[in-house]
Amino acid sequence: MGESSSDRADNEVVQRLREGMERRRSQLAGQSSDLGGTGLHELESSQFLEEPPAISARPAIGGFIVGSRKLFRHLFLKWYTVPLLRQQNSFNRNATLSFRDVVQRNRRLQQDLEELQRRVDALERERE
């Protein structure tokens, strides 16, 4: 028997849903399965910048070199570097929080997508 127009429309909707879900699955498959795992942890652990310590590998004059570097930084660079470090740290913190939010939303969307797939499968089984 031929399909009615409502059956054809239903089949088209189901087909479009399946195609959309398959596209989304293939997009997710190309990404890391653990979006919030080590990548987010590494980002969080490296979000704060500090001035590098003044060190020297020269044993005889190392103390003088370290002292000179500290004095130079304090007198000539601190006024410039401290505000930059604060600004960069603030940006890094905000970017990390935003990334964490995106990861959480992505997980929720992935769960929603899986739930929709289960519903579509159940509806198809009912139709058969």
**Measured between alpha carbons, how far is residue 68 from residues 75, 97, 113 in Å?**
10, 38, 60
Give the pLDDT confidence of 42-69 residue by residue, as tens digits.
Answer: 888 888 888 888 888 888 898 899 999 9
Range of the domain at 58: 34-127
Q: Is residue 3 one of the residues assigned to a domain?
A: no
Q: What is the mean pLDDT of residues 72-100?
A: 92
Inter-CA distances, 96 with 13, 24, 39, 47, 89, Å: 39, 25, 11, 7, 10
Average pLDDT, integer, range 91-110: 93
pTM tops 0.85: no
Residue 113 and residue 23 in contact, taking contact as beta carbons nearer than 8 Å? no
| pLDDT for 121 | 93
Number of domains in the chain: 1
11 belongs to a structural domain = no
With a cut of 90, say whether residue 91 has pLDDT above it.
yes
pLDDT tens digits for 7-25?
777 777 777 777 777 766 6
Q: Alpha carbon of 106 to those of 28, 31, 82, 93, 118: distances in Å?
A: 10, 11, 36, 20, 18
Output the CA angle 50-52-58, nearest 5 degrees: 165
